[in-house]
Amino acid sequence: MSARLTGDETALWKAAARTLDANWTGTSTAASPGLYPHQWSWDSAFISLGLARHRRDRAEAELLSLFRGQWANGMLPHIVFNTRLARRAFFPGPELWHSERHPDAPRGVHTSGLTQPPLQALVALRLHECATDGDSSRAFLARLYPLLTAQHRYLAQARDIGSDGLIAICHPWESGLDNSPAWDRPLGALRLPPTAYAPAQRPHTLPNGEDYDRYVRLVALMRHAGYRRTYLRDDHPFAVEDPLVNAIYLASTHALAEIATLIGADPAPHRDQAQRIHHAILDHLWDPETGCFRARDLRDDRLLPVVTVGAFGPLLDPELPSPIVRNLVDLLLSARFAGAAGYPVPTCDIQAPAFDRGGYWRGPTWVSTNWLVWYGALGHGLPVIADLIYGSTMRLVRQSGFREFFDPFDGTGRGSHDYAWSAALVLDLLS
């Protein structure tokens, strides 16, 4: 803990550390007690950032534990199941994915068959930057590097469905922003066969049963096709290029180049790849008419209409042209986002008809997306934006605790309590 913290901040810091301790399972961190008892991919990356400030050993263990679930083709699954828990501890559990029947899946561990935003390389580099023992930290990076490069190779080979340098999500869960209004149109266009699975029983009611049913059916299609690359490219009905997912992919590719340099490997292929992603984000996801980034539906080659917090993802691109940075700042400060929210950043444009202040990823403020925009703003030397988001995030957790998500107008906490990434990212912000 830093000596410069005020009394208030010290109390917050200790509460966040206690939350992470309570969610620690012995080898990794449960995303939240009760609701999400397993290890999720991007949760794990965010959590590792917080652990790095509190229990360095656990930060490394967290990432290594996640990569135990990596498939032989490099795919890093979005859930690694805790096999010590009862099978029914979470729906959908291992029985939806049948990873054990897939030749590429690891033995002795059950995983999902989807992936999530590839934050791990960015996080691994940040862990190194805040390490006190440089040698041991470099050794950790050297251990992780082949796993990270395999993860990125899978994405470039299996998920560049549009052959344009970007990666596509094949399921809303892969975005991390599950029921974001951005996916309403492609989800609504699906003609899906019925599934044997009943709509899930979940402690909070969002997303609704119909959406959930579609999520499960989409998984069934992927599973029946053996999660095959050619099926995903040619036949799978859901394929979307999202600006937040691709900006994370780009930032992590830059991080891979730096990690390569640190451990004496060749950074050039990662730098080339980063250039390709940078240009593709601008060429395919920037909408000059409305001055913002939008997701692209590859199945009808159109930009999706709703503007979400994902529009600010490209702030993670260090080479984002300054006129575009200014556009994003104006949009962020406008009445569509921070200008009308007491507790920014809402996850959906407040003026969009689909905006829902209590609707999970359809409007509420989340600590994770706040952290990403804060980090991007710092990278572009935008202290006013960074301070605004820092202040709003601190007010949220002080007022409502480490909740899963928050009402963007009055800061009311919603969803699960003691949510691990909310606690972890507060530790990172305070450090």
What positions carry a catalytic annotation?
178, 404
Contact flag: residue 374 with ligand 2M8 (CB under 6 A): no
CA dist 48 and 424 (Å) reads 7
Figure out which of the listed residues 40, 46, 97, 183 binds ligand 2M8, where binding follows CB under 6 A: 40
**Residue 26 CB partners (closer than 8 Å, separation 6+):** none
176 vs 314, beta carbon nearer ligand 2M8: 176
Closest CA to 372 of 326, 328, 330, 341: 328
Of 14-22, 37-45, 102-110, 234-242, which segment contacts ligand 2M8 by CB under 6 A?
37-45
206 vs 427, beta carbon nearer ligand 2M8: 206
CA dist 74 and 280 (Å) reads 23
Q: What are phi and psi of 208, to 5 degrees?
A: -75, 170
Figure out which of the listed residues 60, 62, 160, 178 binds ligand 2M8, where binding follows CB under 6 A: 178
Of 99-107, 171-179, 325-333, 423-431, which segment contacts ligand 2M8 by CB under 6 A?
171-179
Figure out which of the listed residues 23, 24, 37, 42 binds ligand 2M8, where binding follows CB under 6 A: 42
Q: What are phi and psi of 201, to 5 degrees?
A: -90, 110
**Tokens 């990212």, located at residue:** 425
Q: 297: helix, coil or strand? A: strand
Minimum CB distance to ligand 2M8, residue 183 (Å) = 13
**Residue 70 CB partners (closer than 8 Å, separation 6+):** 76, 77, 106, 147, 150, 151
Figure out which of the listed residues 17, 31, 63, 240 binds ligand 2M8, where binding follows CB under 6 A: 31
94 vs 176, beta carbon nearer ligand 2M8: 176
Minimum CB distance to ligand 2M8, residue 21 (Å) = 18
Of 8-16, 35-43, 295-303, 423-431, which segment contacts ligand 2M8 by CB under 6 A?
35-43
Q: What are phi and psi of 375, to 5 degrees?
A: -65, -40
Contact flag: residue 176 with ligand 2M8 (CB under 6 A): yes
**Residue 33 CB partners (closer than 8 Å, separation 6+):** 22, 23, 416, 417, 418
Contact flag: residue 418 with ligand 2M8 (CB under 6 A): no
Instruction: Tell me which residues touch ligand 2M8 (CB under 6 A).
Output: 31, 36, 40, 42-43, 78, 173, 176, 178
